[in-house]
Amino acid sequence: ETGVTQTPRHLVMGMTNKKSLKCEQHLGHNAMYWYKQSAKKPLELMFVYSLEERVENNSVPSRFSPECPNSSHLFLHLHTLQPEDSALYLCASSQGWTATGELFFGEGSRLTVL
C-alpha cells in the first residue's frame, strides 16, 4: 500500500479537453513533485512545491498548470494538450530539503492524448 495515491490511474483525452490529475500523500511530508515519464526518455521533473509554494517550474508548457492547495494534495490541470504529452505522470513527496532527499512515488497516471 502506497503512502502516495494518484487518481485517475488511466486517462484518455482529446486535445480540446480539460482534465485534472490528483495526488494525495498520507506521509506528513512537506514537499511534493510532478514528474513526467515518457517512453525512451529520462525521467523529467516538471514542478516542485515546498510548503505549498511552487519552487520549481522546469520550462513546462503553460498547458500544464499545477495547484497545491495544502501540503497533502497536489493537482495537475491539463488543457489543450498535444499527442506528445502522452506519458506516465508520477507524483512524489519528500520530507522537504532533508539530507537524504528520499522520494516516495505514487503509482502514476497514464495519460493518452488523442
Partner 1 sequence: GDSVTQMEGPVTLSEEAFLTINCTYTATGYPSLFWYVQYPGEGLQLLLKATKADDKGSNKGFEATYRKETTSFHLEKGSVQVSDSAVYFCALSVLTNAGKSTFGDGTTLTVKP
Which residues lie near partner 1 (CB under 8 A)?
2, 4, 6, 31, 42-43, 45, 48, 50, 55-56, 90, 92, 94, 96-108
Strand partners, 18: 79
Of 104, 88, 82, nearest in space to 35 by CA: 88
Q: How far is the CB of 80 from partner 1 (least distance, A)?
A: 27
Closest contact distance (angstroms) between CB of 97 and partner 1 is 4
Q: How far is the CB of 54 from partner 1 (least distance, A)?
A: 12
Contact of 95 with 29, CB cutoff 8 Å: yes
CB nearer to partner 1: give 85 or 108. Answer: 108
Nearer to partner 1, 40 or 83 (CB): 40
CB of 18 to partner 1, least distance (A): 25
Q: Show the 3-state SS of 50-94.
A: ECCEEEEECCCCCCEEEEEEECCEEEEEEECCCHHHCEEEEEEEE
Instruction: Copy the grid coordinates of residue 35.
Output: 514528474
